[in-house]
Amino acid sequence: MQQFLLLYGEFGFMIVGLTYDLKSEYLAMGYDKEIVAEFDREDTIDGIEDALKILGKQVVRIGNIKKLVKFLNDGQHLDYVFNICEGLYGFGREAQVPALLEAYNIPYVFSDPLVLSLTLHKGLTKSIIRDAKLPTADFCVVNDETEIENIKLTYPLFAKPVAEGTSKGITPASKIESSQQLEKTIIALLKKFEQPVLVEEYLPGREFTIGIIGAGKEAYSLGAMEVLLKAKADSDVYSFGNKENYEEVVEYKVSEDDLAQHSIELALKVWKLLGCRDAGRVDIRVDKNGIPNFIEVNPLAGLNPTHSDLPILCRLKGISFNELIKKIIYAAENRIFAKK
């Protein structure tokens, strides 16, 4: 660590590329609002760029993967890339930009292609968590309608697309009380999202999202933010609609009681087990026995300065958006450059 600081200064001059999928560009091309829900707004890109400039970086806005291909073909220089591209197609969509950067031997912020491909598929991720003997709700992955009759889980159940974020596909119908409702919900999700459906036993307890910085033994938590649904919210589920209208229907608060601390401990175990790095979130929900359970991990967390969960958690903890980006960059640069 000290050697790194001597070589580079706390945040030395570097040219940093910024890769992202801009929501407005895809909407202009005719894509549906929910399909591009994970893509970024202009104020997100502005906020990240401003924070990087405060740290002394020269920022080069690149944009999506197709623009990155052209940029790389032009042979322009970058010290590393701050990548928040979500991608559009396939289970490996979040891994496409990191894989391309690795082919050109260009370092980048956030997790590698293996982690991003694995964690986008919620069923495979839960399999690894379960095999590691960490608590997660019993589940199955339904690939087509013929598999519905084979589900042997205890009601109530919860269903969602296996590889989406931002609560896409999660509605009040996601909480399932009967076999008839189960079949209807799964068929609708299969048709709309054209991917398998994750079905798991419903967790009725408190819900936390845990912010994490760093990787491996250097990883630490920013705290636990509890998600509380107000009376006008879609009940029992942190739905796409609730997230879209969070200012009216959701209350967020920092929790520091024993249950929150146990959730943080579980989140850090998950983060290290999966090999996530630099920054992200782990979502935890408590089961009927009062035990925190892993829901999912987001190693490419939203970074809108105002609306995204990780910046909201930081704001509640008294950490500014610029300070959050500084923490991310400090973790990433030490990981990338300390060994050089």
Give the residue extent of every domain in the chain. Answer: 2-109, 136-201, 207-319
325 pLDDT tier (thresholds 50, 70, 90): very high
Closest CA to 300 of 131, 123, 85: 85
More confident residue, 246 or 71: 71
What's the rounded mean pLDDT across residues 87-92?
A: 91
Condensed to tens digits (0 to 9), the pLDDT of residues 132-181 reads 999 999 999 999 999 999 999 999 999 999 998 877 888 889 999 999 99
Position 302 scores a pLDDT of: 93
Q: Give the class (CATH, top level) of 136-201.
A: alpha beta
Q: For position 7, what pLDDT does the model report?
A: 36
Topology alike, domains 2-109 and 136-201: no
Per CATH, domain 207-319 is 3.30.70.20: no
Sequence-ordered alpha helix ranges (H) in 78-178: 96-103, 113-120, 122-131
Residues 1-43 pLDDT 10s: 444 443 344 556 799 999 999 999 989 988 888 778 889 999 9
Whole-number pLDDT of residue 47: 97
142-173 exposure pattern, b = at least 16 Cβ within 10 A, e = fewer: beeeeebeebebeebbbbbbbbbbbbbbbbeb
Mean pLDDT of 242-269: 92
Q: Say what the pTM is.
A: 0.92
- Give the residue among 102, 71, 103, 97 at the shortest CA–CA distance from 84: 97
Q: What are phi and psi of 102, to 5 degrees?
A: -65, -35
Q: Indicate the SS3 state at residue 75.
A: coil
CA–CA dist 51, 325 (Å, integer)? 6
CA distances in angstroms from 322 to 50, 191, 305, 328, listed in the order given = 8, 41, 9, 10
- Grade residue 249 by pLDDT with cuts at 50, 70 and 90: confident
Q: Are 83 and 19 in contact (CB under 8 A)?
A: yes
Name the average pLDDT for the chain: 92
CA-wise closest residue to 287 among 121, 123, 169, 139? 139
- Residue percentage of the chain with pLDDT more than 70: 96
Crossing angle between the packed helical segments 96-103 and 113-120, to the nearest 10 degrees: 170
Average pLDDT over residues 88-101: 95
Q: Which CATH number fits domain 2-109: 3.30.70.270, 3.40.30.10, 3.40.50.20, 3.30.930.10?
A: 3.40.50.20
Report the SS3 class of residue 100: helix
Of residues 79 and 4, more confidence is placed in: 79
Q: Which pLDDT value is given to residue 272?
A: 98
Residue 329 has pLDDT above 80, yes or no: yes
